[in-house]
Amino acid sequence: MTFKKTVVFAKKSTNIFLHILTRCNLKCQHCYINPEQHGTDILPLATIKAWLAVFAAKHPGSNVIFLGGEPTLHPALPSAVKHARELGFASITVDTNGYLFHDILSKVAPADVDYFSFSLDGATPHTHDGIRGSGAYAACLAGIRKANARGFATSVIYTVSLRNIHELEMMGPLLKDLAINRLFIQVIGLRGRSAPREQAVNRNQAWQVSREEWLGVIPGVASQIARLGITVTYPKVFLDPEEIFECAGLAAANYFVFPNGRVYQCPLCEDFPIHSLVFEKNRLVPTAQLNENDFFKLKIPEGCVMNKLIQPQNLKYGDSGEPEYRIACCMLKEEIAV
């Protein structure tokens, strides 16, 4: 039996998305990392520890997700992970493209890491490597198998776009074969170095799925995969008419932290210098207005303000000029649990 629920930003939990570097071994076509905005530094371990301590004190029992770039390229990742455990974070996740550098699996133990979360964007090498580069599929599958063999819990993140939506339904059997019991479906965003603003319209046409495609495929395939015993989480994206719109920037606590010290509360803001917080001398301080907080407060009939600003191609209007539907906060998820 499966249970579907809308996870209203898990309001009682706080999530720290800590990008410890922006360097990566891959050049994925849909990468959202934007070194101009996020910095190119590799955070020193002392800084990682100091920043983790700030969040541990501010939000005891929050979840931390180590990200990059490719976080396993950071030689101090094992120490950072262990330090996070000592500070009492509720869960510790490492997001990875699967290459697992610096022999990370032998430098941390399953007790140190709750999940290694692998980015897998296709059920076949053709599709995954088409997006992420030659050999990336084989490396990712090998990484998952190695992590499982060493006793780590593993999950998969599948970023849906026009390039791979057709292979989502093939993921169930593959995930079973890989002994994965959690799948996070994401939706392609128009962010990062691969989405300069002047190309956004063309890129949108090339990558972003329509409302009809999303609703026609995602909920059904998610249920199908969940029936195999895999917990599936996917973003709501389009609100039903009776659903209430809420902005996680106002209603939840999520922090997206970058090596240059910028701290955002909304991932859709990350391509702009409108972060609401910043680390200065290892202290987390608010930034001056105008910042993302000023956008969160705006009420518009289209739902998410940042969506309207950066990817208005998502929206459709009727003859009266009213939007035909509202876009949910990108952090509003549906979860189908086993």
Binding site for ligand SF4 (CB under 6 A): 24, 26-28, 31, 33, 68-70, 97, 132, 247-249, 266, 268, 295-296, 304-307, 329-331
69 versus 143: smaller Cβ distance to ligand SF4: 69
28 versus 195: smaller Cβ distance to ligand SF4: 28
Provide the minimum distance between the beta carbon of 312 and ligand SF4 in the complex, in angstroms, as a whole number. Answer: 13
Which has the closest alpha carbon to 157: 217, 101, 94?
A: 94
CA distance 256 to 34: 13
246 versus 335: smaller Cβ distance to ligand SF4: 246
Provide the minimum distance between the beta carbon of 330 and ligand SF4 in the complex, in angstroms, as a whole number. Answer: 4
Provide the minimum distance between the beta carbon of 118 and ligand SF4 in the complex, in angstroms, as a whole number. Answer: 10
14 versus 172: smaller Cβ distance to ligand SF4: 14
Provide the minimum distance between the beta carbon of 294 and ligand SF4 in the complex, in angstroms, as a whole number. Answer: 11
100 versus 226: smaller Cβ distance to ligand SF4: 100
Provide the minimum distance between the beta carbon of 338 and ligand SF4 in the complex, in angstroms, as a whole number. Answer: 28
Provide the minimum distance between the beta carbon of 2 and ligand SF4 in the complex, in angstroms, as a whole number. Answer: 27
Angle at 9 between CA 8 and CA 14, to 5 degrees: 140
Provide the minimum distance between the beta carbon of 176 and ligand SF4 in the complex, in angstroms, as a whole number. Answer: 24
56 versus 127: smaller Cβ distance to ligand SF4: 127
3-class secondary structure for the chain?
A: CCEEEEECCCCCCEEEEEECCCCCCCCCCCCCCCHHHHCCCCCCHHHHHHHHHHHHHHCCCCEEEEECCCHHHCCCHHHHHHHHHHCCCCEEEEEECCCCHHHHHHHCCCCCCCEEEEECCCCCHHHHHHHHCCCHHHHHHHHHHHHHHCCCCEEEEEEECCCCHHHHHHHHHHHHHCCCCEEEEEECCCCCCCCCHHHHHHHHHHHCCCHHHHHHHHHHHHHHHHCCCCEEEEECCEECCCCCCCCHHHHCEEEEECCCCEEECCHHHCCCCCCCEEEECCEEEECCCCCHHHHHCCCCCCECHHHHHHCHHHCCECCCCCECCEECCCCCEEEEEC
CA distance 246 to 306: 13
Provide the minimum distance between the beta carbon of 281 and ligand SF4 in the complex, in angstroms, as a whole number. Answer: 28
Provide the minimum distance between the beta carbon of 335 and ligand SF4 in the complex, in angstroms, as a whole number. Answer: 17
195 versus 304: smaller Cβ distance to ligand SF4: 304
104 versus 330: smaller Cβ distance to ligand SF4: 330
Do the Cβ atoms of 233 and 183 come closer than 8 Å? yes
- Counting every residue written for the chain, the total comes to 338
69 versus 261: smaller Cβ distance to ligand SF4: 69
